[in-house]
Amino acid sequence: MEINIQRKVLEANETQADRNRKYFSERKVFVLNMMSSPGSGKTETLSITIKRLMPHIRVGIIVGDICTRNDADRLGATGAPVVQINTDQFGGDCHLAAHLIDRAAREMDLDSLDLLIVENIGNLVCPAEFDIGENAKAVVLSVTEGEDKPLKYPLMFQVADVALLNKIDLLPYLDVDLNLAVDNIQKVHPKIPVFKISAKTQEGFEGWIGWLKGCVNG
């Protein structure tokens, strides 16, 4: 006997993500899900982004890691409110799921925020699959990872709304073709905005900050 089901396997996450999106929009907070592989310079990029946005745009951070509070401590130094999620309590998950964001967001005073940035767990695969109720997704790729990563991890670059190409200060020391990296990102996701930045020298942040301000004020 065949029993017809026709249900999405991740429907529980999707339902919670929709609930999160409603909760955020009621509080007029724009939510950005920031993803990348480990060590791409996400946290440093975020620190500089927060400093450039505050105090005109009030930013809060949810940061996910399997272990440690290191990133929360680094980001807390910017003065922005930070909530750390450690997924080792939940089996060392490789991504942030919508129910974890719900729990973390309720620890924050969202009425006093304009922008909530979720720094996802460093991983170019799993976070791409899980909606957390965000309004936009950003992916950070550092030039040290090689220009072919977008082709190897197409889902991540396909679901992203914006891409940051970080660590361009290291280009003189690398055999990496920056234009090819941009081309590869745009092969996977035609028309996606790509900003070339260095979180170390703070080069190239104007375009990215402008894009983000447009989202928050839009």
Region of 18-26, 101-109, 119-127, 174-182 interacting with another protein (CB under 8 A): 119-127
Please give the Cα distance from 175 to 18 (Å, whole number): 43
Q: Is 122 in the site for another protein (CB under 8 A)?
A: no
Backbone CA torsion sign across 99, 104, 109, 113: negative
Query: Among 155, 170, 178, 215, which residue interacts with another protein (rule: CB under 8 A)?
Result: 155
For another protein, which residue of 7, 172, 214, 218 counts as binding (CB under 8 A)? Answer: 7
- From residue 57 to residue 96, what is the string marking binding to another protein with x (rule CB under 8 A)? ----------------------------------x-xxx-
Piece in contact with another protein (CB under 8 A), picked from 48-56, 65-73, 145-153, 210-218: 145-153
Whichever of 113 and 128 has its CB closer to another protein, that residue is 128
- The stretch among 38-46, 56-64, 181-189, 196-204 that binds another protein (CB under 8 A) is 181-189
Q: Which lies closer to another protein via its Cβ, residue 40 or residue 47? A: 40
Helices 11-26 and 98-105: crossing angle in degrees, nearest 10, is 30
d(CA 67, CA 64): 9
Least distance in angstroms from the C-beta of 146 to another protein: 14
Distance CA 94, CA 126 (A): 6
The answer to whether residue 179 forms part of the interface with another protein (CB under 8 A) is no
The reply to whether 180 sits near another protein by the rule CB under 8 A is no
Nearest to 42 by CA among 184, 173, 137: 137
CA proximity to 100, closest of 119, 73, 113? 119
Tell me which H or E stretch contains 195: strand 194-196
* Backbone torsions φ then ψ of 188, nearest 5 degrees: -75, -35
Structure tokens at 98: 């919508």
Candidate residues 55, 173, 191, 214; the one interacting with another protein per rule CB under 8 A:
191
Other Cβ atoms less than 10 A from the Cβ of 114: the count is 18
103 near another protein, judged by CB under 8 A: no
CB atoms within 10 A of CB 125: 14
Binding residues for another protein, rule: CB under 8 A, are 1-12, 91, 93-95, 97, 123, 125-126, 128-130, 150-152, 154-155, 158, 186-192
